[in-house]
Structure 1
Amino acid sequence: MIHLPATLESDLDWSRADEEGPFFLDFGWDTTPLHPFNEGHFNAYRLAVEEWNKWKKEGTVFLGRVNGDFSKQFNPSQELEERYREFLLDENLAPTSMNYTLFCANIFSEYLQRLASFCSDEAIPSLIVFLEGLSAENVLFFCKRRFEHIHLHFTHYSLPLFQKESIGVSLSCDNTFDPSIYNALFSSLKELGLSFKCVPEELLNEHWDGIDHLIVDPGTLSETGRRMLYGFEAAGGEIVSTGERLGFSKELLLEEFLKKKKPV
C-alpha cells in the first residue's frame, strides 16, 4: 500500500503516485481528530482526492481507517453535542454510549461518502476496518445503511455484510435495533456453523438475491419491512421469525429453522 500524505499541511507533492497501488490518502485522522463541520478542512481533503484523480483515476483508494468506536473520530464540540441531541430527538432514542457511537458513525459515513463522491468513476473508494470479532453493534455501525457506496476492507475480522449467503438476517431500523436479540441470534447461527448475511430492512429488496431463508425480528418489523417480506416470499424465499409467527405461508420459527439445520 502506498501512503500519500494528504493532511491539512501536506503540499500534495506525491512523487510515489506513479507506483502501483492500492493507495492510502493519509488525512492524518489517526492522530488528529476530524472536524466534520469545518468546510475549509473538507475542501482541503477534497483537493487531495481531486489531485489523486489526476495521477491515477482508477483502482483502490483508501480514504481512512477505523475500528468500531466511531466516537473517537471527533473531538467533543458544542456543535457536535447539539447535533447529537437533535439526533436523539429525531430518532426517539435515549442518550447511551451505543447511541452516541451510532450517531458518530452516521456523521463519519456521511462525511466519507461525500468525500468519495469526488473520486473518479473508475476509482474504488475504500475504508480500512480493524475489528476483533463479531458483535451486533458493529454489524449495525458498518452495514450498508451507512456504507453502501464505500468498500470496507476488513484486516482482521470480516463482518457478515457483503458475502453471498443463502441465509439472510434483516437488520431493523436504527431506533428499534436491539443488540441483545442479534447477538443471541448470531451466537445460535455460529454454534451450528451457519454462514449468513446481514441486510438493512429498507434495502432487502435490493440485496435478497441468493437468500433462501430470511431471519427477521417481528417485534421491530416496520410496515415497509413487512411489505418487502411479501415480495421476498413471492420470489420463493422463506421467512424465519425470531419471535411470534408473522402469518406468511412460507414461514418458520427460529427454533424450527435451527432444528432443521442441526447436524444429525
Structure 2
Amino acid sequence: MDTSEISTYEQGVFHLPKGRFVPHLQFDARSFKKDSEYNGVVISLPAGLASDLDWSLQKEIAESVVENKGQILWKLDFSLHDSSFSYTDSMAFQSFTIAIEQFVKTLHANFAANTLGVIIYQGDIDFYHRFTWDASLQNNLEEWLVQMGQEENGLHHYNEFYEKEIGNLLLSRYCTSVFSEYLHRLISYLPDTLPVFCLLDVTEESSFAKVAHLLSKERFPHVHLIIRGSIYPFGELLWDDTCIRSMPIQDNIIVGVCVPSEEICGLSHLSDLEIIIQDLSQKKIPFRMIFESLLNEQWGELEEIVIISSGISVQGKRKLQGFCAAGGFVVSYGKKLGLIQEMSFEDYKKKSE
C-alpha cells in the first residue's frame, strides 16, 4: 500500500494526505450527501459468527460516499455487544480473524485513500455480562486476584463479587482487562498504521471516577476510546445515535486530575477522585484526566496536577518532583507530599473562589 494514503489520528484530529480532518461522521451512511453537515460516515460490516462476510452492499455504499467526497470509518461488527460468548473459544476468535483478514484484503485495500480507521466494538462497558463464565475464565480470575494481592478478600467465585463493594470493583477491573486483552489480540491482525477505535457507552455508569479508572490509556494502549454518556470530559470525540463528532473546544486546560495506578487504586481513592471531579466541575475549572503511569507523557501544557496523596506510588512521587522542577504545581487531596511547589486541595479551592 502506498504510505501516502495512510491516515493518522491524534487528539481528535485525523491527519490525511490532503490535510487536517476534524470528523463529523454520520451513522446513516446510505443518506450521505456531499453538501451536508457531515464530512464522512461510519459503515458497519457484519463480522459475527453468523455472518457470511458478504459486504457487497457496503462496498456500493462506500463507492457512493467516495463519489460524494466523504471519508469512511469502518466498523467490524463482531456482535460482541449482543450476547454472551466465550472469550476462550479459539474457533470464535479464528472466525473473527478471518473477517479481519478479508476486510484488510478487500475494502481497506480498495478504499485506503478514504479510510480513517476501524471500529472494533460499540456498546456498553458491562463486560461481566458479555462473558460465558467457563472454568478457564474462573481460574484466570483466581490467578489474577493473587497477582493483584486481593486473594484475602474472601472472594472465590465470580457470583460472590456482587455481594461486596470491593468485589464489584475488582470484577469490573478484571472483566475490562480481559476484554481489552481480547481486543488487542484482534488488533494484531490489522495493519499497524490503521487507527483503531471503540465506541463505549457509559450512560448507565454512576461513577465517572470508576469509568476513568477502568478505561485508562494503560489498559487500552492501542485503542482510541470514543465515549457516550459522560457528563465530564473524556477524550476528544463523542458519539450518539446519529453521529461521531468532536468535543466542544475548551481552550487553556491547565489542570490535570491524576488517576492512581492500577496496583494502588481502591474504593477510597475512587471516592476521593469523585469528590475532586465534582468540586472542580462546580467551580467551573476545566480539567482533563491523566494517569500516574503515564504522567511524564500526559502533563504537557498542564500547569497544575491534582493528586490523591494516599494514591501516589514512590515512582509517581518522583515524576511529580520532575513536574515541579519544570515549573508545575501539585495540588494534594489529603496529606501533602512535601514537594517544592505544592498546596492542599482545600487551599486550592479557596484560591479559586
Q: Same fold (TM over 0.5)?
A: yes
| Residue 22 of structure 1: how far off its partner (Å) | 2.0
Query: What SS does the aligned partner of 2:310 have?
Result: coil
Alpha-carbon displacement from aligned partner over 1:57-110 (angstroms, at most 9, x marks no partner): 542311012323221221222111111111111112244011101100000011
Query: What SS does the aligned partner of 1:228 have?
Result: helix
TM value normalised by structure 2? 0.70
Q: Aligned residue for 1:168?
A: 256
Alpha-carbon displacement from aligned partner over 1:28-75 (angstroms, at most 9, x marks no partner): 112232422222222221221222222125423110123232212212
Residues 22-171 of structure 1: pairs in structure 2 closer than 5 A: 22-54=73-105, 55-56=107-108, 57=112, 58-93=115-150, 94=153, 95=155, 96-132=167-203, 135-157=208-230, 160-162=233-235, 165-171=253-259
* Structure 2: distance between partners of 1:66 and 1:72: 12
Contact 2:47 2:78 in 1 (8 A): yes
TM value normalised by structure 1? 0.92
* Structure 2: distance between partners of 1:182 and 1:154: 19
Is it true that 1:10 corresponds to 2:51 in the alignment? yes
Contact 2:227 2:235 in 1 (8 A): no
Contact 1:161 1:199 in 2 (8 A): no
**Paired residue type of 1:244:** K
**Paired residue type of 1:91:** M
**Paired residue type of 1:17:** K
* Structure 1: distance between partners of 2:297 and 2:97: 30
**Paired residue type of 1:196:** F
Contact 2:260 2:308 in 1 (8 A): yes
- Ranges in structure 2 where 5+ consecutive residues have no aligned partner: 1-41, 66-71, 156-166, 237-251
| Residue 248 of structure 1: how far off its partner (Å) | 0.9
Contact 2:46 2:53 in 1 (8 A): yes
Query: What SS does the aligned partner of 1:107 have?
Result: helix
* Structure 1: distance between partners of 2:116 and 2:188: 15
| Residue 243 of structure 1: how far off its partner (Å) | 0.8
* Structure 2: distance between partners of 1:207 and 1:35: 36
* 1:185 pairs with one of 276, 281, 288: 276
| Residue 114 of structure 1: how far off its partner (Å) | 2.0
| Residue 199 of structure 1: how far off its partner (Å) | 1.6
Contact 1:6 1:27 in 2 (8 A): yes
Query: What SS does the aligned partner of 1:123 have?
Result: coil
Alpha-carbon displacement from aligned partner over 1:121-148 (angstroms, at most 9, x marks no partner): 3422111111226521111111112122
Return closer, same or farther for 1:13/1:212 CA change in 2, 3 Å cut-off. same
**Paired residue type of 1:29:** L
**Paired residue type of 1:99:** L
- Ranges in structure 1 where 5+ consecutive residues have no aligned partner: none
Query: What SS does the aligned partner of 2:145 have?
Result: helix
- What is the aligned-residue identity percentage? 28
* Structure 2: distance between partners of 1:158 and 1:27: 28
- The alignment covers a number of residue pairs equal to 262
**Paired residue type of 2:59:** A
Contact 2:117 2:196 in 1 (8 A): yes
**Paired residue type of 1:68:** I
Return closer, same or farther for 1:126/1:17 CA change in 2, 3 Å cut-off. farther
* Structure 1: distance between partners of 2:343 and 2:233: 22
Q: Aligned residue for 1:231?
A: 322
Contact 2:226 2:235 in 1 (8 A): no
Return closer, same or farther for 1:87/1:160 CA change in 2, 3 Å cut-off. farther
Contact 1:59 1:124 in 2 (8 A): yes
Contact 1:4 1:17 in 2 (8 A): no
RMSD: 1.9
**Paired residue type of 2:81:** D
Alpha-carbon displacement from aligned partner over 1:237-263 (angstroms, at most 9, x marks no partner): 11111011111111111111112222x
